[in-house]
Chains A and B, each alone.
Chain A
């Protein structure tokens, strides 16, 4: 079948899903706002434009927000590709951030190696943590979805316990750690309040690395084949169990890295009291990107843009910030719905098949004349 036609269809479908979601959002906005057009302007235009000109600072803020969800999105992408619905990325973000903070506080060498070490250790710890649901699945057949979901809460309460009772800075009014060493902080990419760090560049580099890993290495290939048909992979001689574990370790590693970069880039102390939500967003991002690493930054941009718009709308108009959740949920729904626009797709397919047939027949007729 015509691949370009299908790609076009997917793009149209994505755009239509977004459009429908926005229309639904608009309905809500019209219901709950006295100045609905003003509110819409804040949501859709203001992330890019302020005071009539394009605001770079606002764009940097969006880029900064993309950083952690690109990492979690990539992590989910690798895990889902092996058909493992591991949802532990959320906990890994928190754990990664916490571990990186501790390393940055207590293991400082005073050189810029600090941040490398902090991020690496955090990522490795998270990889080890997601080894648990993976090995439970492979050895005992325990659903990775359930065990990884539970692990998120175990992580959260363990982190809170240590934060409250062991590592808290007693001199501060709120619960937080001591500040990290200067050398452990991720340097800013641009000056100003956007907090856009080199972590963003790293996220883009990792996008390419993960894409290469998935499509150009024997491990990525094994992960994808196992995801499509585990029986086939086993019969072909792949080490199914090991690869399933590997995919989840990588997922943990990437999510942990996202958390570490976020904490070391945006904060001076660790003060998260709850799961940050980047892991869940990562699932959305991975689904929007259809588990293709290359599309992850685009999906992440879209989500971050929407978040930013909703924040602005909530700040400057009378629409509540919860609106973003409604919009996200609706988009998610339409993307996940395989049959959305299926009739249109069928029409495209029929048109394509007919075209091809007539070409073939024409070619045959020509051949016959010669």
Chain B
């Protein structure tokens, strides 16, 4: 086999992080020139680590990297870029207040005397956009353009910097169905022009659709390289998790009863003067899961913040079982039986250098049960945390382990264990399975259905279209801070219909939407 066939060869890569996590153990990873190569695996499987090393963000503890037949030491992204490697991160690295053209030339600005030659920057942008058929508006500010275009800007940015090998980290996670289809067309176009693309994803269907070969990782090791055409979706999922994952959630039909959460005419304008919530009204009933679908940034985050007093609305009312919860301290909200799985577990969900036990106790440490006079009843605490660790299958050495040392999925299980075990009457689950492995995802989804069938009201906010459609009994679509559509029954829905409402192409009438208030 000639070496020239491969543009990227990573041999025997081992990476141990300072916290002792061996994220990669002797991984071999090869990419042929001009292919779209998928890198697959659960979260914590070591994909991101491997790619970070290829992009020079991390250095391998052992092993070597060969680019175009030349052994290299990628000590920083600058070096990686100079070797023709570009990376599009999952979270875009763009300056929101600058225009597309300015972002494009950031750090390599064309100069005219002392000043930046803005006209030249626009020219460069338009030239590349045309060449690669990636249409962007060079003069628009990043803050004003849709997610799909931001992604194109990121890809163009890499190309302008001379990238021949593109790493895309879960590029479709933030896109609608239509935008995804567009992206795929563009990627195939790039492939035809001789570019090599490494595509990180968990989404089996997409992988089957677009890639030529794939490498599957599990537990920091490579599980092998396959021709995409030769392996089935079930085969991939088996290799990823080592067992057959049930891709659909089985649930009985919901029998919703009384309204628990009642949101009426909620309004909020943010500090950039954007109307994030516009006379928003809906209700969630006992025993049902109401899903909120929508492209991120259409008011979902703001709504959740309001519901847990992390932000204050301009107008409107929110009640739980008839009692107001707006502006009420979190302690009171929790006492009323409201639980929240926060969108970003590292910001709100955990204290990362605290132990698992300390993190499990944070909402109940002052309960009588865990205190003996002035002091904690340590036995009661140990018992409760061991019970939760067992019940929620948190993989750890002991309750004393630092929670920040766990993998994303296990951290989320700690959060979920705490939030689900307080006998909640209302659960707000904001992106409950974002960025975690298939096993943990399945577990959390099952629990959520279980609790709703036992009588909790569940409000599910998720950017994962499959998740909201699978889990929700009924569903609303957010668009521009308003409800664009309400579907009482989710079984008839498909991606196509959802996409149209999510992108604002279609809209239900006021009367149709009003049904979600159950009045």
Question: A357 to nearest B CB, angstroms?
Answer: 6
Question: B352 to nearest A CB, angstroms?
Answer: 7
Is B348 touching A225 in the complex (CB atoms < 8 A)? Answer: no
Which residue from B348, B350, B362, B371 sits with its C-beta under 8 Å from A238? B362
Chain B residues lying within 8 Å of A350, measured Cβ to Cβ, are 16, 61
Is B352 touching A228 in the complex (CB atoms < 8 A)? Answer: yes
| B374 sits at the interface (CB 8 A) | yes
Is A239 touching B331 in the complex (CB atoms < 8 A)? Answer: yes
Chain B's interface size range is 35 or more
A136 and B340 alpha carbons, distance in the complex (Å): 31
A236 and B351 alpha carbons, distance in the complex (Å): 10
Which residue from B17, B354, B378, B400 sits with its C-beta under 8 Å from A225? B354
Chain B residues lying within 8 Å of A3, measured Cβ to Cβ, are 400
Is A218 touching B20 in the complex (CB atoms < 8 A)? Answer: no
Among A216, A221, A222, A232, find the residue whose CB has the most chain B CB atoms closer than 10 A.
A232
Is A352 touching B20 in the complex (CB atoms < 8 A)? Answer: yes
Query: Chain B 315-337 against A: per-residue CB contact (8 Å), 1 yes, 0 no?
Result: 00000000000000111011000
Is B376 touching A225 in the complex (CB atoms < 8 A)? Answer: no
| B349 sits at the interface (CB 8 A) | yes
- The prevalent SS among residues of B at the interface is loop
Chain B residues lying within 8 Å of A349, measured Cβ to Cβ, are 16-20
- Decide: A235 near B348, CB < 8 A? Known: A218-B376, A349-B19, A350-B61: yes
Question: B367 to nearest A CB, angstroms?
Answer: 9
Chain B residues lying within 8 Å of A353, measured Cβ to Cβ, are 16, 20-22
Question: A287 to nearest B CB, angstroms?
Answer: 17
Query: Chain A 201-221 against B: per-residue CB contact (8 Å), 1 yes, 0 no?
Result: 000000000001000111001
| A8 sits at the interface (CB 8 A) | no
A2 and B17 alpha carbons, distance in the complex (Å): 14
Chain A residues lying within 8 Å of B361, measured Cβ to Cβ, are 221
Which residue from B25, B331, B371 sits with its C-beta under 8 Å from A237? B331
Is A238 touching B20 in the complex (CB atoms < 8 A)? Answer: no
Chain A residues lying within 8 Å of B331, measured Cβ to Cβ, are 237-239
| A229 sits at the interface (CB 8 A) | yes
Is B376 touching A229 in the complex (CB atoms < 8 A)? Answer: no
| B363 sits at the interface (CB 8 A) | yes
| B82 sits at the interface (CB 8 A) | no
Among B308, B352, B365, find the residue whose CB has the most chain A CB atoms closer than 10 A.
B365
Chain B residues lying within 8 Å of A44, measured Cβ to Cβ, are none
Is A221 touching B351 in the complex (CB atoms < 8 A)? Answer: no
| A49 sits at the interface (CB 8 A) | no
| A346 sits at the interface (CB 8 A) | yes
Is B20 touching A229 in the complex (CB atoms < 8 A)? Answer: no
Chain B residues lying within 8 Å of A236, measured Cβ to Cβ, are 330, 362-363
Chain A residues lying within 8 Å of B354, measured Cβ to Cβ, are 224-225, 228
| A140 sits at the interface (CB 8 A) | no
Is B310 touching A218 in the complex (CB atoms < 8 A)? Answer: no
Chain A residues lying within 8 Å of B365, measured Cβ to Cβ, are 218, 221-222
Which residue from B25, B340, B348, B405 sits with its C-beta under 8 Å from A231? B348
Chain A residues lying within 8 Å of B25, measured Cβ to Cβ, are 357
Which residue from B330, B352, B405 sits with its C-beta under 8 Å from A235? B330
A357 and B19 alpha carbons, distance in the complex (Å): 15
| B291 sits at the interface (CB 8 A) | no
Q: Which residue of chain B has the shortest Cβ distance to A349 in the bound complex?
A: B20
Q: Which residue of chain A has the shortest Cβ distance to B17 in the bound complex?
A: A349
Q: Which residue of chain B has the shortest Cβ distance to A1 in the bound complex?
A: B20
| B313 sits at the interface (CB 8 A) | no
- Decide: A212 near B375, CB < 8 A? Known: A225-B358, A235-B310, A357-B25: yes
Question: A78 to nearest B CB, angstroms?
Answer: 16
| B353 sits at the interface (CB 8 A) | yes
- Decide: A217 near B351, CB < 8 A? Known: A237-B363, A238-B331: no
A235 and B310 alpha carbons, distance in the complex (Å): 8
Question: A219 to nearest B CB, angstroms?
Answer: 9
Q: Which residue of chain B has the shortest Cβ distance to A212 in the bound complex?
A: B375
Query: Chain B 369-382 against A: per-residue CB contact (8 Å), 1 yes, 0 no?
Result: 00100111010000
| A-B contacts, 6 listed (Cβ < 8 Å) | A218-B366, A221-B376, A236-B330, A345-B18, A349-B18, A353-B22
Other 7 A-B pairs with CB < 8 A, given A232-B362, A235-B348, A237-B333: A216-B376, A217-B374, A218-B365, A221-B376, A225-B358, A349-B17, A349-B19
Residues of chain B having any CB pair with chain A under 8 Å: 16-22, 25, 61, 308, 310, 329-331, 333-334, 340, 342, 347-354, 358, 361-363, 365-366, 371, 374-376, 378, 400, 405
Q: List 7 A-B pairs, minimum CB-CB distance, nearest first.
A: A237-B331, A1-B20, A236-B362, A228-B351, A229-B351, A235-B348, A237-B330
